[in-house]
């Protein structure tokens, strides 16, 4: 990995929702230096996770950083990358990493044309936005990694530094991967909510606590059998990634 002494990078975060600040905290914990983050809907929460980190416009985050992490909603990613290219923000040799499950590196083509290095790393967890919870989950999670072959080891190393086990997903397989993630998480949430509503209707007060062991054991059983969510009575809540 390129960067400063001992492979440490100046890392900027574009996206201050549930994902970006936690990814920043994980990379800071791995020894990288954070350079700035863009403003979001809850800057106080971001300050609590990343105290003292400058809040900057996207162009300034890019200007200051050797690695730019983009964690924005799916429908904003392509326009953001292209817009930053239009204003000449991307720099040759700069690492640009996004966390969207549905895209590989093609969405980063405008940055690539400016000489940047495109990486796609999607940690497969439910981001809550609470750093302590999310960092624990990252340490037990996998991450889908897509990158051009010469720089694939960089993407894999960054996934490891987030705490994840990297799994390589081909560019052409990203849509199917995203569908698998969405199927598991959306179906899971729907089933758990339906079950909780039925339990509340028969007088169970703390439905979340009641279902917790049942849901987790059911998922574990389904995974051992290899049947996935379709064979389980309940599964974990939504893992949708947003910015």
- Strands 142-146 and 117-123: what pairing? antiparallel
Q: Which of 25-29, 126-130, 175-179, 231-235 has the lowest mean pLDDT?
A: 231-235
Region 22-33 average pLDDT: 97
Whose CA is closest to 81, among 114, 107, 118? Answer: 107
Whose CA is closest to 44, among 129, 135, 134, 138? Answer: 129
pLDDT > 70: what percent of the chain?
A: 90
pLDDT tens per residue across span 107-160: 999 999 999 999 999 999 989 988 899 999 999 999 999 999 999 999 999 999
Q: Which token pair is 142?
A: 């996998």
Instruction: Examine the pLDDT at 73 and tell me if it is beyond 90.
Output: yes
- The residue length of the chain stands at 243
pLDDT category at 17 given cuts 50, 70, 90 is very high
How far is the CA of 135 from the CAs of 6, 18, 65, 96, in angstroms? Answer: 23, 12, 23, 22
pLDDT tens per residue across span 195-216: 989 999 999 999 988 888 888 7
Those residues whose C-beta lies under 8 Å from the C-beta of residue 142, and which sit 6 or more positions away, are 123, 124, 164, 165, 166, 167
């Amino acid at each position: 990995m390129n960067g400063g002494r001992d492979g440490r990078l100046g890392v900027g975060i574009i996206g201050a929702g549930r994902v970006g600040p936690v990814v920043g905290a994980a990379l800071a914990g791995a020894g990288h230096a954070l350079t700035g983050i863009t403003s979001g809907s809850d800057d106080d929460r971001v300050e609590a996770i990343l105290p003292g980190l400058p809040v900057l416009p996207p162009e300034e985050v890019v200007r200051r950083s050797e690695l730019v992490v983009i964690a924005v909603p799916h429908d904003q990613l392509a326009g953001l990358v292209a817009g930053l290219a239009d204003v000449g923000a991307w720099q040759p040799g700069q690492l640009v990493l996004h966390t969207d499950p549905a895209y590989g590196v093609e969405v980063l083509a405008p940055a690539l044309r400016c000489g940047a290095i495109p990486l796609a790393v999607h940690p497969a967890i439910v981001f809550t936005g609470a750093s302590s919870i999310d960092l624990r989950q990252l340490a037990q999670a996998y991450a889908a990694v897509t990158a051009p072959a010469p720089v694939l080891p960089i993407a894999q190393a960054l996934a490891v530094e987030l705490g994840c086990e990297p799994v390589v997903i081909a560019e052409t397989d990203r849509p199917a991967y995203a569908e698998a993630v969405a199927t598991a998480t959306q179906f899971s949430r729907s089933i758990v909510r339906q079950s909780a509503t039925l339990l509340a209707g028969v007088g169970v007060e703390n439905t979340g606590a009641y279902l917790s062991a049942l849901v987790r054991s059911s998922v574990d059983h389904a995974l051992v059998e290899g049947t996935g969510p379709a064979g389980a009575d309940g599964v974990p809540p939504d893992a949708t990634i947003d910015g």
